[in-house]
Homo-oligomer: A and B are copies of this chain.
């Protein structure tokens, strides 16, 4: 992608809090690629008015084996039998899906329920889903997805054999539109409440930082080796980085920007 932003579409145009919105490619990819589970939505059948949403494991990447490849979203997950069937039964360019990645970074507790909110980061993409059929691209995508869970994991496990690769489905979503939104700050209350001692002296206001935390690795009953560095370091680094971000956001006093919608 020559441009470093996705183009806005009617579906990804921000109507409120525009200063929190972004079409920046790096921002969007970063939210997707550091979120442990993404949500994938689609219409299972033309006769059914209800969309479904499946939790899956996904990563955005650009396949290096094809010079013309653009960044796409690759999905894998055993909850995906319906999506696999749909992907296999649609012609080019695939069937329309939406994928979202969300991280909750803090609970913002204001003086009044009306101003309660979250610190969060969320990214959304829309695109066409199709099964990856090229074996080289499929293997590359499985390595990308496996290493996204724990970096280095692919090299530290028994490589898949031919039967396993054949039995594994990877879905590739060509991205049509994408956007991100975030909030990272202290709560905001109204002047009338800050000046009202009956309110300001009665209630606590602040942020409870939130992050995804990893515990001490628990060996499988059949495991024979000690916890390897790639796992131990992943746990240590992730916890430190996630806590640092959530605590930073909880105390962040943003420089006031003029809102475009004001």
Which residues of A are at the interface with B, using a C-beta cutoff of 8 A? 10-11, 15-17, 36-37, 39, 41-45, 48-55, 57, 78-79, 81-82, 96-100, 102, 104, 107, 109-114, 116-118, 120, 122, 124, 126, 142-143, 146, 149-150, 153-154, 156-160, 164, 167-168, 176-177, 181, 186-187, 189, 193-194, 199-228, 231, 234-235, 243, 246-247, 250-251, 253
Most buried by B among A45, A78, A157: A157
With A102-B39, A109-B150, A158-B111 known as contacts, the answer to whether A11 contacts B205 (CB < 8 A) is: no
Chief secondary structure at chain A's binding surface: mixed
A220 closest partner in B (C-beta): B205
In the docked arrangement, what's the CA distance between A50 and B37, Å? Answer: 20
In the complex this chain forms, how many copies of it are found?
A: 2
Do residues B219 and A204 form an inter-chain contact, with CB atoms below 8 A? Answer: yes
Most buried by B among A39, A110, A209, A211: A39
In the docked arrangement, what's the CA distance between A218 and B207, Å? Answer: 5
Query: Which 8 pairs of residues, A with B, have the shortest CB-CB distance?
Result: A213-B213, A209-B215, A41-B41, A218-B250, A53-B100, A50-B126, A205-B220, A49-B96
In the docked arrangement, what's the CA distance between A170 and B121, Å? Answer: 22
Contacting residues, chain B, for A48 (C-beta < 8 A): 10-11
Contacting residues, chain B, for A168 (C-beta < 8 A): 114
Contact of A37 among B11, B104, B159, B201 (CB under 8 A): B104
Contacting residues, chain B, for A209 (C-beta < 8 A): 214-216, 218
Contacting residues, chain B, for A82 (C-beta < 8 A): 15
Q: List 14 A-B contacts (CB under 8 A).
A: A10-B48, A16-B79, A37-B120, A53-B100, A55-B100, A55-B120, A113-B146, A114-B160, A156-B204, A201-B224, A206-B217, A206-B218, A211-B212, A221-B253
Contacting residues, chain B, for A49 (C-beta < 8 A): 96
In the docked arrangement, what's the CA distance between A99 and B219, Å? Answer: 35
